[in-house]
Amino acid sequence: MTDSIPPNPARTRREWAVDACLFLFAVGIGVLSAVDRVGLGLTEPAWFFDVEQVVGALGCAAIWLRRRWPVAVAVALAALSAVFELVAGAMLVGLFTVAVHRPPRTSITVFGLSLITALAYVLLRIESDYDRGLLLMLGVAFQGVATGWGLVIHHHRQLVARAGAEARLLAEQAQHHAREAVAREMHDVLGHRLSLLSVYAGALEYRPGAPPEEVAGAAKVIRESAHQALQDLRAVIGVLRAPVGELPQPGLADVQELVDESSRAGMKIELSAPLPQSVPDTTGRTTYRVVQEALTNARKHAPGAEVRVLVAGARGEGLTVEVCNTAPGSAPAVGGGAAGQGLAGLAERVRLAGGHLVHGPTAAGGWRVEARLPWPP
């Protein structure tokens, strides 16, 4: 992997400020070192001191290139620091930059190289009046602080990036769950309405000679059901366009209207009465969806069958919802849809509500759907 990074023409104000501060830091270290050498009279030979000042200035200027070539700049400055003392400040900035922008393994490697150059400087600059061991320890300490500080910032940035990635993942999961919830609502609501339309349309198709009043009544129900289906679809689309908000949710009290509506469509339904009272909202809403899906499937797959709906339970014992139909009185309608998809979604809905769903054929050739839902005391 190359060390080069494409230049960023849109450097932010903060980046300019950071680069300027680090440049001034390197210049300050170089100036202090030069003043110290002049004060100690360590400027001979004069030509070498002049060269060292030029190299120190170029090293400070290289700081402005460190964002594009962090490793290359740090290695070059570390190598120069083995001979030229005035690039020490720029070398520290290079170590810090590598530790911030590169993996820890690369940072430790460059730091190890800088330790070798620190040892080389102590051995080569024999004119220094300082104790060589103390000078080496000071160099190692400063280089360790620069690298350690950069590693801390690198780790902090990784934590922030990981937290951001996890937040985005959670948001995507929440969006996925919301879409699944809307899809279930569309299946439950529109499937019920469209199955009613299919029943009345089938009656008109197979009874072309029906009295005008029956035809008019069936047409009215078809029109009303189609209008209600459009209203339900608009409500679902409204929730998709405006994530804040929820679909209007039916409850256990609406089961009676659901049964009456299906009875008007010609289904033979027996409902246990009275319905339990003070059922939790989640349990009541799930009960409604269980009955709705079972009646929709009975209309599609068992036309003419008798249906029995039982809703019973008590606080602390749970709520039982059972919908059982007899064998179909006629052949199922063509194009009724793939069986099982709605029941799979219904089982997931019941599970999310803390309950359990079972379904299957009966000994008499019918079908039974039973859900057991929690009802806390």
The answer, yes or no, to whether residue 84 has pLDDT greater than 70, is yes
Nearby residues of 184 by Cβ (< 8 Å), 6 or more positions away: 289, 345, 348, 349
Residue type, 83: V
Confidence of residue 151 (pLDDT cuts 50, 70, 90): very high
Confidence of residue 331 (pLDDT cuts 50, 70, 90): low
| pLDDT at site 171 | 81
Tokens for 357, please give them: 């769903």
pTM of the model: 0.49
Of all residues in the chain, the percent with pLDDT exceeding 90 is 14
The answer, yes or no, to whether residue 273 has pLDDT greater than 60, is yes
| pLDDT at site 240 | 59
Range in 150-164, 191-205, 236-250, 286-300 with the lowest mean pLDDT: 236-250
Residue type, 124: L
- Higher-confidence residue of 285 and 197: namely 285
Range in 72-86, 164-178, 304-318 with the lowest mean pLDDT: 164-178
217-244 tens-digit pLDDT: 777 777 777 777 777 677 666 655 655 4
| 328: Cα separation from own chain's centroid | 46
**CA–CA distance, 193 with 80 (Å, rounded to integer):** 81
Range in 5-14, 67-76, 316-325 with the lowest mean pLDDT: 5-14
| pLDDT at site 242 | 54
DSSP string covering 210-259, please? --HHHHHHHHHHHHHHHHHHHHHHHHHHHHHH--SS------GGGHHHHH
**CA–CA distance, 367 with 323 (Å, rounded to integer):** 8
Closest C-alpha among 71, 85, 96, 74 to residue 34: 85
Range in 105-109, 218-222, 265-269, 295-299 with the lowest mean pLDDT: 218-222
Confidence of residue 339 (pLDDT cuts 50, 70, 90): very low
Nearby residues of 299 by Cβ (< 8 Å), 6 or more positions away: 195, 196, 198, 199, 262, 265, 267
Range in 133-137, 165-169, 333-337, 350-354 with the lowest mean pLDDT: 333-337
DSSP string covering 79-94, please? HHHTT-GGGHHHHHHH
Q: At what angle do helices 212-241 and 132-206 cross, to 10 degrees?
A: 170
| pLDDT at site 357 | 92
- Higher-confidence residue of 221 and 310: namely 310
Confidence of residue 152 (pLDDT cuts 50, 70, 90): very high
111-141 tens-digit pLDDT: 998 888 888 888 876 555 567 778 788 888 9
Q: How far apart are the first and last CA of the chain?
A: 64
Closest C-alpha among 50, 54, 100, 97 to residue 78: 97
Q: What is the largest CA-CA distance in the chain?
A: 122
349-376 tens-digit pLDDT: 888 888 999 998 988 888 999 999 999 8
Of all residues in the chain, the percent with pLDDT exceeding 70 is 78
* Cα torsion 94, 97, 103, 108: sign: positive
| pLDDT at site 249 | 72
